[in-house]
Amino acid sequence: MSDDLNRQIFKEEAYDLLRELEGALLELEEAPGELDLINRIFRALHTIKGSGSMFGFEEIADFTHELETVFDKVRNGEAAVTPALCGLSLQARDQIRAMLDSEDDEGIEPDNREAILKELEEFLSGVSCDQEDAEGESEAAEGTDGVKQPAGANEYVIRVVPKGDAEVDVQAVESFFEELERIGELTVRSGHAETGAGWELFLVTDHARDGVEDIFFFLTADVEIDIAAQVAEAGPPPPEEAAVSEAEPTTFTEGDEGAGTDGVRRIGEILVESGDIRESDLHEALEEQEQSSPKRPIGQILAEKGKVGPEKVSQAVKMQDEAKRQDGHRKKQEALSSIRVAAEKLDYLVDLVGELVIVQAQITQVVSEKNDPAMTLLAEELERLSDELRDSTLGIRMLPIGTSFSKFRRLVRDLSADLGKKISLSTSGAETELDKTVIERLGDPLVHLLRNSIDHGIETPQEREAKGKPPQGNILLAAEHSGGEVLIRITDDGRGMSSEMIREKGIERGLIAKDAEMAEKDLLKLIFEPGFSTASEVTSVSGRGVGMDVVKRAIDSLRGLIDIDSKPDAGTTITIRLPLTLAIIDGLQVRVEDEYYVIPLSLVEECVELSRSDVDENESGQRILHLRGEIVPYVHIRDFFRVEGDNPPIEQIVITGAEGSRVGIVVDTVIGEHQTVIKSLGRVYKDVEGISGATIKGDGSIALILDIPSLVRRVIAESH
């Protein structure tokens, strides 16, 4: 049972790493020289390989090892990043995902796996041929023990020390020494059995310090690990080698002087801040580094130019090493302060909180009838605590929408290549948080909208150039908070849509009358009708409007709104407006006769009394309200749901805003705000027009939640 749990934990972590890997590969394709990205990719692969081997996923570990070897060559400057390599790596990533998804290799195509392995071997063979001359030169540096010393090797002193009086599993620690021997020449200067104070190791390798740290990633023994870039107990190097040997051991071959993705300052930045060099010196060194192949460390270049002494570079190296150690400790503490929780458990917790909110409302109602000051005080305190618990629990379910952005970048990359188009996807607002359930259910509609933009929105490079546009099209995927909602926009700079063409198609399909007068925004909304399409031909990918009714229904099921704005040759913007959560909302409770309803508070603009002098009917018989000089159509809930009884002398009308239109909802009485726990309706009632769900009131009775968007569409349709 423990093994099954560990394997499941590995799979969950591996899925996260594969998502990170895909995003890093797509970024690397656009910035091939970014060492931070290369290191991120290598670490992700190294973790998948190590964990996979540890938990019995040998096939995954072996396959991942081949891709890891490729990126080990890349980060050591022995191979270049090319679009072909990025494409092959993405295929390998998909293969690892497929192997994770399957059990006992079922459903895996061995031919596909072997084809990828063969291409990886061919890539490595090509690298080996390119390195043949360099390897021949380095053979002259072989030591008397027959071990070949890599050219420009790094030297590290590694100390592994038990924490306090902790007992350490000697075999567990020393098993990691075999990994060190695979990446270089290892000498064990002192061992735990001899000194009782840990191990001191001397390693000569062509790997950077980060690569050495990765070896100990899976070491669970209670020890502290110190990796020093200086060689202990060794005399100073010859003067002509000082700049190289003191600067080389630390990884500072990055392409800029800013802080890395881990927040640790780089060597050049440290030297500038300490006043040892000027910024102009650093920029010159960076330019020289970009032109060198393989890239040389910044410290080495600066020392060779006489801009800084070797001792200053060595001091900066020590400062960076210390900063990295502190940063690593901080990350470990952060990792220890967070836990992974199964989604099912979280959903159950939200359900329990919802039930608690209902009980709290019932208690509040009973207490209000008793008129007991002490009980009233306790009820108010309970209400405050339940509100905080609700907000905290819902906050746990909130995730940044950017977690799904990487798959969209992959979609744009692959589909644009298939269609022979040049398209870039930019994103903003990735940190915008949304309920995890909403994010999951939003995935398919966004994929469909992006496919439409790629296939029928963005033109071919030739067509764009003929219109005076740049050959590369652009799609922007943006998210932002707006009050209690989230706005998601998909904007492209493609050919756009013609309202006249949409009108013709609408008439042709009998959706609108020939002489119907419609605003441009209303015409554009016709693309959401079932089967509507403006495409001249059907493609295997999509058609602008084909299936858009499915997108509309999906957004409606999320209690969201979708709007579209498009201009010919200027592009299209689709805006999706969504609630933050689907579990608990703030609502406005209303009553008609003895029936209670809830209107989502985020859609309510104002409440006014319905005066007969303000009521009128237009030529089509639709009821309209004259509100401060504006004509607002309205729907009478008593008539819509056929509630028996007579209208009261004074009625209330709730003005709502949805889909860019204002519509009034006429009720008998507006009761007030209501914390609404959403309950889904049974299959018999789920398709009832005008109702999106139900909630339980404080007295245990049911109140129906009004589906305002569907009521708005009904009113708008009747007006035409």
Q: Categorise residue 629: left if φ over 0, alpha if ψ from -120 to 50, beta otherwise.
A: left
Whether the ω angle into residue 471 lies within 30 degrees of 0, i.e. cis, is: no
- What is the SS3 assignment for 187? strand
Q: Looking at 164-305, list the stretches that DSSP marks H as alpha helix, in order from N- to C-terminal side.
A: 170-174, 177-183, 192-195, 209-215, 242-247, 267-273, 279-291, 298-304
| CA distances, 621 to each of 624, 657, 718 (Å) | 9, 22, 9
- d(C-alpha 676, C-alpha 354), whole Å: 9
> DSSP character for 128?
H
594 phi, psi to nearest 5 deg: -105, 10
Site of tokens 């002398």: 649
* Structural contact between residues 666 and 634, judged by C-beta atoms closer than 8 angstroms: yes
243: exposed, middle or buried (Cβ count in 10 Å: 0-12, 13-18, 19+): buried
Helix (H) or strand (E) holding 26: helix 2-30
The reply to whether 500 belongs to the active site is no
- d(C-alpha 82, C-alpha 238), whole Å: 39
The reply to whether 68 belongs to the active site is yes
627 phi, psi to nearest 5 deg: -115, 105
- d(C-alpha 557, C-alpha 549), whole Å: 12
- Which residue type, as a one-letter code, is found at position 550? V
- Our measurement of the distance from residue 491's CA atom to the centroid of its chain's CA atoms, rounded to an integer in Å, reads 19
In the set 29, 39, 46, 636, the catalytic residue is 46
For Cα atoms 31, 37, 40, give the angle at the middle one, nearest 5 degrees. Answer: 165
* Structural contact between residues 596 and 589, judged by C-beta atoms closer than 8 angstroms: yes
- d(C-alpha 438, C-alpha 418), whole Å: 30
Q: Which two tokens stand for residue 208?
A: 């950077």
For strand 661-667 and strand 651-658, is the pairing parallel, antiparallel, or unpaired? antiparallel
- Our measurement of the distance from residue 304's CA atom to the centroid of its chain's CA atoms, rounded to an integer in Å, reads 44
- d(C-alpha 450, C-alpha 454), whole Å: 6
Site of tokens 């904007």: 491
Which residues, in sequence order, are CB contacts of 666 under 8 Å at separation 6+? Answer: 610, 634, 635, 636, 637, 638, 651, 652, 653
Which residues, in sequence order, are CB contacts of 428 under 8 Å at separation 6+? Answer: 476, 477, 478, 479, 480
3-state helix, strand, coil in the chain (%, to 5): 50, 20, 30
| Per-residue exposure over 277-300, b if at least 16 CB sit within 10 Å of its own CB, e if not | beeebbebbbebbeeeeebbbbbb
In the set 66, 68, 155, 459, the catalytic residue is 68
Q: How many CB atoms lie within 10 A of CB 356?
A: 17
**Closest by Cα among 33, 71, 640, 511 to 289:** 33
- What is the SS3 assignment for 227? strand
Side-chain-side CA neighbours of residue 87 (13 Å):
7
- d(C-alpha 203, C-alpha 111), whole Å: 40
Catalytic residue ranges: 46, 68, 452
